[in-house]
Amino acid sequence: MTALHTLSATDLLDLIRSKQLSPVDLVRASLDRAERLQDDLNCFITLCGEQALDRAREVEQAIMQRKSLGRLHGIPYTVKDLVNTAGVRTTFGTLLYQDNVPTEDAPCVARLNAEGAILIGKTTTPEFGSQPFTRSPLFGQTRNAWSAERTSGGSSGGAAVATAAGITPLAIATDGGGSTRIPAACNGVVGIKQSNGVIPHSQAQDLFGNQTYVTPMTRTVADTGLMLQVMSGDYALDPWSIGLKRGDYCQAARYQGDLRGKRIRYCYAPQGRAVSAEVRQYFDLALQRLVELGAALEPFEAQDFIVEPIWRTINHTVWRTRFLPLVERHGDTFSPTFRQQILSAGTFSAGDYQEAMFARTTLFKRIQALFDAADLFVTPTITRTALPLDMDLFDPIDIDGEQYDGIRTHWYPWTMVFNMTGHPAVTLPCGLASDGLPVGIQFVTRYGADEDLLRFASAFENVMGQAPQPVL
């Protein structure tokens, strides 16, 4: 049999349902791999081995008794440690909450469990998901699956690394400004940020102004569609999800056709931002594959698209309101980088915040209008491969020997945009650079067109082939 850690959830489900693979053996293999790689990768905060094996025995018994099986029956998965899991500690990546144990699951977790999926552990996140690197005084550094000298990205770095390393085929992540797509691109996996409301979010404190998402992370588009199908659906406590029509994401993610008649607009970077030569090279090759599929390409000149100041005004104001009392009472508990971000928002006024929200509305209209003449918008996910492991958020970023101030605005200028507008966006692997690290391409579709996004992604994956996994 092919090594289990290389198989997708879709393939593993076939083996389980045909009784060629025991869920107990699969979960044990996942736990063994997690424990073997933890010292090298440091991608877990908590492993729940006995609990996972007990659950695996239950779902295996259901198979033997020929009971009705769930859509994810016997498949192990991980959950980012920002997302609540009943009876399993949820630390939010901080020492302050290192002993916190929720009493109920987030809706997405409950839905995966109800379909027979098996939680094996909680993956690393920086404090409250507050930066594009995955490090914290609680657990240290999470290393890239392809290189111990590079960052995993963040804030869902643990989820991306565990997925890339084949520990589990499925992971629950979160994305507040690129936190799924950045680490997915850094580690060569598929990371989607769906349209607002498709997957309910039970932990956002500002439900109406929310720009954070609970998301799937996988190694294949088909597995992303499978997770999205299970995690999506009406939820009475998320106003964006109420009454939202659920698509057939599984079918869309298995699309086998071409892209004839489809119009694609593309852009390397917003005006004033740089892209490394190798990212540009692999992006161009990916565009050529889209042309081979029959799509028509048109460049998009992204003038006045530097959105990081808008995102930061909104995001950091929210963070300051939530976390300033904690920083004031428990300052030594947090990293200097976290404290600096919280304190920096003290310069924003109520007027600044409201002006940023007005700008967010204008940005939505601009992005939505882009699709009047296009079916898909394509960008590099990040402007260069994964940064050095020990870089700080406030350090300058090097792109082809040039130094730039502002990691957020220069490394991932195209991710924050779609958190603010709500448009669905997915990153897909599109090559390995000369440093041996993955390069990612981002697809974006019209608001609510998540099925279309998955079709585009599936067509692209079909011509590119499944991305390689690191040798671990």
The two tokens of residue 404 are 């730039």
* Alpha carbon distance 157, 15 (integer Å): 29
How crowded is the C-beta side of 462, counted as CA atoms within 13 Å? 17
| Cβ pair 306, 189 in contact under 8 A | no
The pLDDT assigned to 1 comes to 65
Pairing status of strand 135-136 against strand 140-141: antiparallel
Among 247, 176, 173, 245, which Cα is nearest to 209's? 176
What are φ and ψ of residue 399, in 5° steps? Answer: -125, 110
Euclidean distance between CA atoms 459 and 457, whole angstroms: 6
Give me the residue spans of the domains in the chain.
4-464
DSSP secondary structure string for all residues of 328-367: HHHGGGS-HHHHHHHHHGGG--HHHHHHHHHHHHHHHHHH
Per DSSP (E only), the strands in 54-148 are 76-80, 118-123, 135-136, 140-141
4-464 maps to CATH 3.90.1300.10: yes
Partners of 299 in beta bridges? 266
CA 102 – CA 100 distance, rounded (Å): 7
Per-position b or e across 300-326, b if 16+ CB within 10 A of its CB: bebeebebbebbbbbbbbbbbeebeeb
Alpha helices in 65-180 (DSSP H): 107-114, 157-164
Q: Which residues pair with 458 in a beta bridge?
A: none
* Burial readout 425-460 (b: 16 or more C-beta within 10 A, e: otherwise): bbbbbbbbbeeebbbbbbbbbbbbbbbbbbbbbbbb
Walk along the chain (472 residues) and give the pLDDT tens digit of each residue: 689 999 999 999 999 999 999 999 999 999 999 999 999 999 999 999 999 999 999 999 999 998 999 999 999 999 999 999 999 999 999 999 999 999 999 999 999 999 999 999 999 999 999 999 999 999 999 999 999 999 999 999 999 999 999 999 999 999 999 999 999 999 999 999 999 999 999 999 999 999 999 999 999 999 999 999 999 999 999 999 999 989 999 999 999 999 999 999 999 999 999 999 999 999 999 999 999 999 999 999 999 999 999 999 999 999 999 999 999 999 999 999 999 999 999 999 999 999 999 999 999 999 999 999 999 999 999 999 999 999 999 999 999 999 999 999 999 999 999 999 999 999 999 999 999 999 999 999 999 999 999 999 999 999 999 899 999 9
Nearest to 289 by CA among 445, 426, 450, 457: 457
Q: Do the beta carbons of residue 85 and residue 102 sit within 8 Å? A: yes
- What CA–CA distances, in Å, run from 13 to 69, 109, 216, 226, 275? 10, 19, 17, 11, 40
pTM of the model: 0.98
The DSSP secondary-structure symbol of 151 reads: B
